[in-house]
């Protein structure tokens, strides 16, 4: 099968494979769309089962970045780096420097940041080889607090629409994952009085988080069956599929994981069960919003740099964006996922129209 025929290719502008024998680096950088500006996206290091799985993740994640950046109203596009390897075993200084050189060769079309398997400190190392990096310590740093806050705001908005209450007191939320984003989300939910259940394969992480927020622990295999008001996927993607959707016992799905739907058609499957799905790329945009303020310095020499108060103010707009998308979905009798996609398509088409050069006839006129 040609890469152009790959089901997740979606007219990506650029896909590069990078290898560095000395460090063991094997990585893919995917740039989905730059019509609004340079592509931005995190660097994920994961022990993929195959190169095909890594490619699929890079393509899906970079496309999701285009969508979340467009809906956040930022002048940029979507990209992603995936490094094939176990971050606890294979990550090294030489590997990070090699990925920095790879990013530099793209000449600014793509700006890298941290993601699953990488850290702000890793970005500091990568910055020794490239100018095009954000998320370093002392600047925007860890994107998880902003992402978790944005997911919380979106979840609260979805609950208000579906359950008719602005308060989360007593609302039952089943959280899949106990990583950084899930931790910040759970802290906000706990402070709002929500009742939490948490599942994560890492039993120690799940136990530590559960103790902090007074949650019960559920096995990863049973989290889909947990009776709750909100199911919140905050781990890896494709968890909403033919096998899991019939098991859900919730009214709302709202979480921070990327690409929660295994396929687009699963949005319809959720709607058929009366479950309101808040599109993940709307809710989890807080991280890229947070990093954007730092990224401005790459194109504006006089930029003041990272500004946390500005970033959090922009993250708070996620609630209004979701409300607008839910209004479109209700008005047009389509799923929220389709409504969000239509809005993105409109934004990108308008940008393409503005970028088109005038025809010779128009120029003479």
For 261-307, how does the pLDDT look when each residue is reduced to its tens digit (9 = 90+)?
A: 999 999 999 999 999 999 999 999 998 888 887 776 655 555 555 56
CB 109 within 8 A of CB 76: no
Q: Which residues contact 95 (CB under 8 A, 6 or more apart)?
A: 20, 23, 24, 25, 83, 85
CATH topology of domain 10-64+78-137: Rossmann fold (3.40.50)
**216 and 210 in contact (C-beta within 8 Å)?**
yes
**Catalytic residues, which ones?**
80
Q: What pLDDT digit, counting tens, does each position of 133-152 carry? A: 998 887 766 788 999 999 99
Q: Which pair of structure tokens corresponds to residue 21?
A: 């024998």
Superfamily per CATH, domain 145-283+319-342: NAD(P)-binding Rossmann-like Domain (3.40.50.720)
Q: What are phi and psi of 283, to 5 degrees?
A: -70, -35
Q: What does the pLDDT look like over 148-203, one tens digit per residue?
A: 999 999 999 999 999 999 899 999 999 999 999 999 999 999 999 999 999 999 99
Tens of pLDDT, residues 314-350:
899 999 999 999 999 999 999 999 999 999 999 999 9
3-state secondary structure 35-70: CCCCEEEEEEEECCCCHHHHHHHHHHHHHHHHHHHH
The full set of domain ranges for the chain reads 10-64+78-137, 145-283+319-342
Residues with Cβ within 8 Å of 227's Cβ and at least 6 positions away in sequence, in order, are 172, 249
Same fold, 10-64+78-137 and 145-283+319-342: yes
Q: How many residues does the chain have?
A: 365
For residue 145, give the H/E element and its range.
helix 144-163
11-59 residue pLDDT tens: 999 999 999 999 999 999 999 999 999 999 999 999 999 999 999 999 9
Per DSSP, 166 falls in state S
């Amino acid at each position: 099968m040609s890469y152009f025929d790959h089901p997740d290719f979606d007219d990506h502008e650029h896909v590069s494979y990078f290898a560095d024998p000395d460090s063991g680096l094997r990585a893919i950088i995917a740039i989905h769309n730059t019509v609004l500006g340079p592509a931005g996206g995190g660097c994920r290091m994961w022990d993929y089962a195959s190169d095909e799985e890594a490619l699929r993740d890079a393509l899906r994640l970079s496309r999701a970045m285009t969508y979340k950046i467009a809906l956040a109203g930022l002048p940029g596009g979507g990209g992603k780096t995936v490094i094939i390897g176990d971050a606890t075993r294979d990550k090294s200084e030489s590997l990070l420097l090699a990925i920095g050189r790879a990013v530099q060769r793209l000449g600014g079309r793509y700006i890298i940041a941290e993601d699953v398997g990488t850290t702000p400190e890793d970005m500091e190392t990568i910055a020794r080889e490239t100018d095009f990096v954000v998320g370093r310590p002392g600047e925007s740093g860890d994107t998880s607090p902003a992402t978790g806050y944005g997911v919380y705001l979106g979840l609260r908005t979805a609950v208000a629409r579906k359950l008719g209450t602005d308060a989360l007191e007593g609302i039952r939320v089943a959280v899949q994952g106990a990583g950084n984003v899930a931790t910040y989300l759970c802290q906000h939910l706990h402070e709002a009085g929500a009742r939490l259940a948490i599942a994560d394969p890492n039993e120690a992480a799940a136990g530590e988080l559960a103790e902090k927020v007074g949650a019960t622990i559920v096995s990863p295999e049973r989290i889909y069956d947990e009776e709750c008001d909100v199911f919140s996927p905050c781990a890896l993607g494709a968890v909403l599929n033919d096998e899991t959707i019939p098991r859900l016992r919730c009214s709302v799905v709202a979480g921070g994981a990327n690409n929660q739907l295994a396929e687009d058609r699963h949005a319809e499957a959720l709607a058929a069960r009366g479950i309101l799905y808040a599109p993940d790329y709307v809710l989890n945009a807080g991280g890229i919003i947070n990093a954007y303020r730092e990224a401005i310095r790459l194109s504006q020499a006089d930029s003041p740099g990272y500004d946390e108060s500005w970033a959090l103010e922009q993250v708070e707009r996620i609630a209004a964006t979701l409300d607008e998308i839910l209004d479109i979905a209700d008005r047009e009798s389509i799923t929220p996922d389709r409504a969000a996609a239509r809005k993105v398509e409109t934004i990108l088409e308008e940008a393409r129209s503005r970028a088109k050069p005038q025809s010779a006839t128009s120029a003479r006129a």
